[in-house]
Amino acid sequence: MIADFGYGIFLLSFILSIYAVFAAIYGYQTNKYTWVESSRLAMQLTFPLITITSGILVYLLVTDQYHVSFIYEVTSRSMPLYLKITSLWGGQSGSLVFWSWLMSSFATAVTFRKWDRDREFLPWVVVVSSVTLAFFVGLVIFFENPFEKFWQTFNGDVVTAMFQPAGSVPFSPPDGKGLNPLLRHPGMIIHPPMLYLGFVSFVIPFAFAIAALITGRTDDRWTRITRRWTIVAWLFLSIGLILGGRWAYDVLGWGGYWGWDPVEIAAFMPWLVGTAFLHSVMIQEKRGMFKEWNMILIILTYAMVIFGTFLTRSGVLSSVHAFAQSAIGPSFFIFIGVTLVVSTALLIYRWKDLRSEAELTSMLSREALFLLNNLLFISIYIVCFWGVLFPLISELFTGQKVTVGPPFYERATGPLFAALVVLMGIAPLSAWGHSTIKTLGKAAWKPATAAVIGLLAIIFVGKVTNIYAIIGFFAVLFTSFITLYEFWRAAYARSRAQKENLVLSLWRLFGKNRRRYGGYLIHLSIILMAVGIIGLEMFQTETQGTLAQGESLTLGEYKITYNDLAIFDSNDNRNLARATISVEKNGQFVGELHPRRDYFYESQQPMTIPGVRSTIQDDLYIILVDWQPITTEGATFKVYHNPLVNWLWWGSIMMILGSMVAAWPEKDPEPRKVSSNAALAAAD
């Protein structure tokens, strides 16, 4: 009964979303604000209704209601409470309910803002948000109902159906299959919600962009309203990608954090386009330029959000991250096509009104370098997009799916990422409107000299000979010294002018211009992450061997000795094989590691847990590959040495800090004075 109630509430949410769309359009066209207000209230009402639905689904999960097929698929009695709750997004239908709940919460939150100054935006923000919400709620109602029940036919076969099949009786299995072991890692528990939050947050800037196109508000008001939404979306999406990388590093057992998996790339593509938009929109606010480009970027970001969700949930891609084959693929494809056609038509209609208010007068000006930054991001995006689509296209025309692996992506994107790191340092040195090689050289020679000295130290002390690593280290040193120099120069100037100490001056600079200095912190975080990436990609070494008890294996400075292997059952229905490894570095004992293999009886799936020794210099990463029943025959281990990899995780923490600083609320400045054409359009 409660499952049927949850489905009914969700159906009501769908009806309200559809009503909000038509009420908002009717109210705008007839100039009857009461209808617009009604659409806003309908949008707000979806949030408590979907919250009730989600709460019912969580209740079914935690109370082991296995007569509901979704509960049977993702939970079991042995799972702890927190895993039962988080298994809401551990399956296809539950994840769509969770996506819908987040969408309704964000759409509701944006309708609570003061609309006095931007009343013409309101109906169209409601329309875009409600259409997106209705689409995802509709997927659940018509294709992926999480409240479907088990039915058992008289001959003993178990089937699922939305309605009772003829000749069947209700059936409740005694226990569930349990959550996929790979999804029980803390990173994977948090990773999907962070991605969903990033996806949903980007819907709001897109909604305001469409509202600006429809109403003819071609000034930068919509970008200022959505500034923090964009930063928050970017932050959540970044955290989601980082947590996914950490999950892969800890669970998948291949010693890496990023494998250019198609579903990884599906989440990476909106991040790339969204990052380009985040940079480009600053030029519109500052100089009134790139208006057309910003519209293209936010439309493309929204399209990639939906496309990424489609790739993950349609089953068209083979991936450890993807859900099973599903019937929702065609619906996603149609929705993406319709939204792209409508958005593009609106963009073409308003193209003349989106003319820039200033011209690009110097190829070394800050706006020109920001444009180059955008082009590099879009180039990486095109490589990723083509790499994901090519196997599908080849299968469609030849019947054979061609695999596009990491070497393709690394060769194609490596130089582009290096150029981005260097540009990240040069762009802040350039001036708005006009810069020359002489002025840039004058500003950059000190950091460049420090970078060369640092690079020589790395080459001779670290004995680095890999040319690609040398180029990468120079790029990160050059940009890091420029960024730190910018901090010091601004703080020193303020300290002298205000008679303050340097620390206080730097603190007050952050408070005065959070967006700028938060961005600098993000740049430093990217540099730290780049160091970790260079270390792992260029200097990772590995070995594998089968050892009897007491035998050793050497990798670089490390020597590992296999001591013993314990095999036992845990109280949560797992069988554990746990090895004990002694580790020596340069002949000195540094500790023990315990790589293990867990086998889950319910799902009949194994999970590998590596033994890892982490320091600022490196990780020693050991995987238990196999073992023999007779201990004298030994066990097989795979060992990785991952230099500098922890710089990646430390950089991730700094990125979160920098994003919080940049997104921290400031007094909303008055918009720039716009051109007469833009002002007339805004007044219409």
When pLDDT is cut at 50, 70 and 90, the band that residue 191 belongs to is confident
Bridge-based pairing of strands 611-614 and 158-161 is unpaired
**553 pLDDT above the threshold of 90:** yes
Name the token pair of 483.
């960024």
Final residue of a structural domain among 179, 213, 235:
179
- Residue pLDDT, tens place only, 229-279: 999 999 999 999 999 898 889 888 778 888 888 888 989 999 999 999 999
How far is residue 278's CA from residue 274's CA, in Å, rounded to a whole number? 6
Final residue of a structural domain among 127, 148, 179:
179
**The CA-based dihedral angle spanning residues 204, 207, 212, 213, taken in that order and rounded to the nearest 10 degrees:** 150
Residue 522 forms part of a structural domain: no
- What's the confidence (pLDDT) of residue 324? 47
Does residue 20 or residue 501 have the better pLDDT? Answer: 20
**361 pLDDT above the threshold of 60:** yes
| Most confident of the following: 213-217, 388-392, 430-434 | 213-217
Q: Which of 586, 102, 135, 582 is nearest to 338 (CA)?
A: 135
Average pLDDT for residues 470-486, to the nearest whole number?
92
| Most confident of the following: 99-103, 260-264, 349-353 | 99-103
Average pLDDT for residues 385-399, to the nearest whole number?
83
Distance of alpha carbon 207 from the chain centroid: 20
Eight-class DSSP state of 167: T
Residue 683 forms part of a structural domain: no
**668 pLDDT above the threshold of 80:** no
How far is residue 310's CA from residue 650's CA, in Å, rounded to a whole number? 32
- Residue pLDDT, tens place only, 30-67: 999 999 999 999 999 999 999 999 999 999 999 999 88
Final residue of a structural domain among 179, 195, 212:
179
When pLDDT is cut at 50, 70 and 90, the band that residue 630 belongs to is low
Does residue 103 or residue 489 have the better pLDDT? Answer: 103
**444 pLDDT above the threshold of 50:** yes
- What's the confidence (pLDDT) of residue 192? 87
How far is residue 440's CA from residue 428's CA, in Å, rounded to a whole number? 10
Residue 134 forms part of a structural domain: yes
When pLDDT is cut at 50, 70 and 90, the band that residue 674 belongs to is very low
Rounded percentage of the chain residues whose pLDDT exceeds 90: 51
Q: Which of 273, 518, 285 is nearest to 385 (CA)?
A: 273
- What's the confidence (pLDDT) of residue 661? 87
Please report how many Cα atoms fall inside a 13 Å half-sphere around the Cα of residue 111, on the Cβ side: 28
Average pLDDT for residues 138-151, to the nearest whole number?
86
Q: Quote the mean pLDDT of the chain.
A: 86
When pLDDT is cut at 50, 70 and 90, the band that residue 667 belongs to is low
CATH of the domain at 174: 1.20.120
Residue 506 forms part of a structural domain: no
User: Residue 290: left (phi > 0), alpha (psi -120 to 50), or beta?
Assistant: left
- What's the confidence (pLDDT) of residue 463? 86
Window from 92-101, 229-238, 390-399 with minimum mean pLDDT:
390-399
* Angle separating helix axes 262-287 and 186-215, nearest 10 degrees: 40
CA distances from 660 to 234, 235, 589 (A): 11, 8, 42
Total domains, the chain: 2
How far is residue 300's CA from residue 323's CA, in Å, rounded to a whole number? 24
Please report how many Cα atoms fall inside a 13 Å half-sphere around the Cα of residue 621, on the Cβ side: 24
Rounded percentage of the chain residues whose pLDDT exceeds 70: 91
When pLDDT is cut at 50, 70 and 90, the band that residue 663 belongs to is confident
Whether the CB-CB separation of 64 and 75 falls below 8 Å is answered with yes
When pLDDT is cut at 50, 70 and 90, the band that residue 170 belongs to is low
- What's the confidence (pLDDT) of residue 632? 52
Domain that holds residue 122: 1-179
Residue 229 forms part of a structural domain: no
- Residue pLDDT, tens place only, 560-597: 999 999 999 988 788 999 999 999 999 999 999 999 99
Residue 299 forms part of a structural domain: no
Residue 218 forms part of a structural domain: no
- One-character DSSP codes across 446-494: HHHHHHHHHHHHHHHHTT---HHHHHHHHHHHHHHHHHHHHHHHHHHHH
DSSP E strands, 101-187:
149-153, 158-161, 168-170
**322 pLDDT above the threshold of 50:** no
- What's the confidence (pLDDT) of residue 330? 83
**320 pLDDT above the threshold of 70:** no
- What's the confidence (pLDDT) of residue 648? 94
Residue 503 forms part of a structural domain: no
Evaluate if pTM is beyond 0.75. Answer: yes
How far is residue 582's CA from residue 596's CA, in Å, rounded to a whole number? 14
